[in-house]
């Protein structure tokens, strides 16, 4: 008797709004229990600088994280992508202080919750409301997306526009050119928010030829309409760069744009220990690095090639690039089954039936999704040589397959068990899967918060904030931590690694280099090294590092009971 008549769309949307609000509360629970997120978003530094100074800058030409006032006149244009995210978050930053970490987690949770609406509409249009609901629940509770919900990144806006593109195409697909145009605009906004989604383009082009095989006019028209409509919103934030420099300052565009090779590598701190080494001592560092790599085992060298390829150090061959891509590709496979990303193997019990069901029902659709999964992974590992987790780029397709699979399994069981309807069985299976995912997320966040150092970063930033605004502080903190301290302290910070400081002391040029960088204070160095710096440059002040503030989150009995519901 359960839901014999389909619910009106208005009722579904009302229920979806309630579900989205509930998910914001669920996603935010770890942050609210702990009192802080598990990390501090470095992305907000560029957003703050744009919001307060109107510039797409993070550092100056020396690699210093300057305050917005100094960047307004002395900043270097950032070659990092995601300018649309910087614009939007910079605007939001006028209402929410960047030190309000819980507030920013709430912002991204709300953004991801809003993206559930176009996602649900797209799945409903291509399938039905039942599959849409199941896929939405699974997507919302997948560990990899739960983390994206509470950590500020470029993904939240990108997912919103990506899913809007899917929904618009689904709603307008009876008018192909209009559907392509609107979907293209949303895809342009997607890559403007997160450049990584450019890796979808080769597969989109292939599908344009494959799905219109034999009709060259349709193939060209499809690519032209979608391409132009995508390109315009993507390039809009770079109009100023093109007018003044002749090319957009973007690392990804630099690969194909004439003159783009002049763009500095925005991620140089992935290899080089600090800006000084990259700008002024690169040759010495690379020589020592290559000599050190030669002493490694074959397997260790293969692992190291990824970073050498990205910076073209040692002139690696095409064969080396292929081997490294293979290593990265094979290394990415476990993510599809791990608890911290997919929630373990349980989803595959429904993903595989979902793939088989869609293959029988609409083989082209199945191939389109499977091809996107496969070739996106190939592009990320073999072309870009990225080692980081990127399952979130296409994990939504696996959530969709799982939703289809749950519905298919429920239909099959309903055919055997006449006592229960397919809708009832779908709800029952979805509840069981949701409970499993909640349990996995609970244990995952328990592990994460056991080693969080957010409190230490906040305490260090507060110590720097007490200094006068015109200071420049040298620190050995890793790049991400240096960025976080610069964001929260609102003071100028520059990274100098301990090894670089020792080398400069040995060479007797530390005072000259510090004068060049305008360093007035040092923070975070071992006491003996800080004193050595002070001996050769008495004007430099040592900022005392606060005692460690890291403690386990305090949990009230009521919250403990809530957390233990899913054990």
- The token pair at 316 is 């690696």
How many whole angstroms from its chain centre is CA 157?
Answer: 11
> CB pairs under 8 A, 24+ apart, for 86-90?
86/43, 86/46, 86/47, 86/50, 86/56, 87/50, 87/237, 88/47, 88/157, 88/193, 89/43, 89/44, 89/47, 89/51, 89/152, 90/47, 90/48, 90/49, 90/50, 90/51, 90/52
Confidence bin at 1 (pLDDT 50/70/90): very low
DSSP track, 165-185: HHHHHHHHTTSHHHHHHHHHH
Residue-level pLDDT at 243: 87
Name the pLDDT band for 541 (thresholds 50, 70, 90). very high
Say if CB 225 and CB 264 are below 8 A apart. no
**pLDDT tier, 314 (very low <50, low <70, confident <90, very high otherwise):** confident
HSE of 257 in the Cβ direction (CA atoms, 13 Å)? 19
How is the chain split among helix, strand and coil, in percent rounded to 5?
Answer: 70, 5, 25
Q: Taking the CA of residue 44 as centre, how many other CA atoms within 13 Å lie in the half-sphere pointing to its CB?
A: 27
Locate the domains of the chain by residue range. Answer: 26-237+337-449, 454-543
Q: Which of 465, 481, 469 is nearest to 524 (CA)?
A: 481
How many percent of the chain have pLDDT more than 70? 94
pLDDT at position 256: 66
Sequence-distant (≥ 6) Cβ neighbours of residue 411 within 8 angstroms: 422
Rounded to a whole number of angstroms, the distance between the first and last alpha carbons of the chain is: 33
How confident is the model at residue 460, as a pLDDT? 95
Nearest to 271 by CA among 308, 234, 243: 308
Flag whether pLDDT at 553 surpasses 70.
no
User: Taking a C-beta distance cutoff of 8 angstroms, is the pair 168, 126 a contact?
Assistant: no
Q: For 391-408, what is the mean pLDDT?
A: 97
Contact 37, 454 (CB under 8 A): yes
Rounded to an integer, what is the distance from CA 90 to the centroid of its chain?
Answer: 17
Rounded to the nearest angstrom, the gap between the alpha carbon of residue 209 and the centroid of all alpha carbons in its chain is 30
Taking every pair of Cα atoms in the chain, the longest distance, rounded to a whole number of angstroms, is: 86
Write the secondary structure of 83-130 as one string of H (helix), E (strand) and C (coil): HHHHHHHHHHCCCCCCCCHHHHHHHHHHHHHHHHHHHHHHHHHHCCHH
d(CA 2, CA 423): 7
Query: Across the strands, what pairs with 542?
Result: 522
Query: What's the length of the chain?
Result: 567
- Whether the CB-CB separation of 522 and 543 falls below 8 Å is answered with yes
Contacts of 207 (CB under 8 A, 6+ apart): 368, 371
Check: CB of residue 544 under 8 Å from CB of residue 534.
no
pLDDT in tens, 336-348: 999 999 998 999 9
Query: What DSSP state is assigned to residue 544?
Result: P
Mark 496-505 as b/e (b = at least 16 C-beta within 10 Å): bbeebbebbb
Sign of CA dihedral 441, 443, 444, 449: positive
C-alpha span between 483 and 493 (Å, rounded): 8
Distance between CA atoms of 377 and 375, rounded to whole angstroms? 5
Fold of 454-543: Rossmann fold (3.40.50)
Please check the confidence at residue 426 and state whether its pLDDT lies above 50: yes
Phi-psi sector, 242: left (phi>0), alpha (psi -120 to 50), beta: alpha
Going by C-alpha positions, the residue among 186, 198, 209, 306 that lies closest to residue 255 is 198
Per residue in 490-523, pLDDT (tens digit) is 999 999 999 999 999 999 999 999 999 999 999 9
pLDDT at 562: 52
Arithmetic mean of pLDDT, 114-126: 98
pLDDT confidence band for 566 (50 / 70 / 90): very low
| pTM of structure | 0.93
Q: Enter the tokens of residue 25.
A: 């509360």
Whether residue 388 has pLDDT greater than 50? yes
What span, in angstroms and rounded, lies between the C-alpha atoms of 533 and 502? 9
- Say if residues 210 and 98 touch (Cβ distance below 8 Å): no
Q: Given the structure tokens 């890796």, which residue do they identify?
A: 199
Cβ atoms within 10 Å, residue 37: 22
pLDDT tens by residue, 240-286: 888 888 888 887 776 666 655 566 667 788 889 999 999 999 999 99
Averaged over 129-153, what is the pLDDT?
Answer: 97
Residue 552 pLDDT exceeds 60: no
- Residue 524's pLDDT is what? 95
Mean pLDDT estimate for the chain: 91
């Amino acid at each position: 008797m359960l839901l014999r008549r389909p619910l009106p769309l208005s009722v579904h949307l009302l229920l979806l709004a309630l579900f989205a609000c509930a998910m914001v509360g669920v996603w935010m629970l770890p942050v609210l229990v702990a009192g802080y997120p598990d990390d501090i978003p470095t992305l907000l530094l560029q957003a703050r600088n744009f919001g307060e100074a109107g510039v797409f800058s993070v550092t100056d030409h020396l690699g210093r994280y300057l305050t917005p006032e100094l960047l307004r006149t002395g900043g270097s244009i950032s070659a990092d992508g995601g300018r649309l995210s910087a614009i939007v978050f910079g605007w939001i930053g006028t209402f929410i202080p960047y030190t309000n970490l819980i507030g920013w987690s709430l912002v991204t949770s709300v953004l991801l919750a809003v993206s559930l609406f176009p996602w649900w509409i797209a799945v409903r249009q291509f399938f039905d409301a039942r599959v849409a609901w199941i896929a939405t629940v699974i997507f919302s509770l997948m560990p990899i997306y739960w983390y994206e919900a509470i950590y500020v990144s470029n993904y939240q806006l990108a997912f919103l526009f990506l899913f809007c593109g899917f929904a618009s195409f689904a709603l307008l697909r009876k008018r192909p050119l209009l559907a392509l145009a609107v979907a293209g605009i949303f895809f342009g906004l997607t890559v403007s928010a997160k450049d990584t989604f450019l890796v979808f383009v080769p597969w989109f082009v292939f599908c344009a030829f494959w799905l219109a095989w034999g009709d060259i006019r349709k193939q060209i028209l499809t690519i032209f309409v979608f391409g132009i409509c995508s390109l315009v919103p993507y390039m809009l934030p770079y109009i100023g760069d093109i007018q003044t420099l002749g090319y957009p300052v973007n690392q990804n565009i630099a690969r194909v744009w004439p003159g783009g090779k002049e763009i500095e590598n925005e991620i140089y701190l992935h290899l080089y220990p600090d800006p000084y080494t990259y700008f002024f001592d690169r040759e010495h560092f690379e020589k020592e690095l290559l000599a050190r790599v030669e002493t490694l085992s074959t397997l260790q060298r293969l692992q190291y090639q990824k970073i050498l390829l990205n910076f073209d150090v040692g002139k690696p061959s095409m064969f080396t690039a292929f081997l490294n891509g293979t290593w990265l590709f094979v290394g990415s496979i476990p993510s599809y089954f791990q608890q911290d990303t997919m929630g373990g193997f349980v989803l595959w019990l429904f993903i595989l039936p979902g793939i088989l069901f869609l293959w029988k029902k609409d083989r082209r659709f199945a191939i389109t999704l499977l091809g996107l999964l496969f070739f996106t992974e190939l592009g990320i590992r073999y072309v870009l040589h990225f080692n980081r987790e990127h399952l979130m780029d296409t994990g939504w397709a696996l959530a969709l397959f799982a939703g289809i699979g749950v519905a298919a399994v429920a239909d099959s069981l309903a055919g055997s068990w006449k006592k229960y309807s397919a809708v009832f069985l779908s709800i029952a299976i979805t509840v069981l899967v949701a409970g499993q995912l909640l349990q996995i997320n609970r244990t995952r966040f328990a592990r994460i918060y056991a080693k969080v150092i957010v409190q230490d970063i906040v305490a260090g930033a507060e110590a720097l904030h007490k200094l006068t605004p015109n200071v420049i502080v040298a620190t050995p903190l890793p790049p991400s931590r240096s960025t976080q301290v610069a964001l929260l302290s609102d003071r100028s910070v520059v990274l100098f690694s301990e090894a670089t400081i020792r080398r400069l002391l040995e060479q007797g040029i530390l005072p000259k280099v510090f004068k060049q960088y305008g360093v007035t204070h040092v923070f975070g160095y071992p006491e003996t090294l800080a004193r050595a710096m002070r001996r050769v440059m008495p004007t430099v002040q040592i900022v005392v590092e606060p005692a460690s503030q890291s403690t386990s989150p305090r949990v009230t009995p009521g919250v403990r009971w809530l957390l233990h519901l899913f054990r």
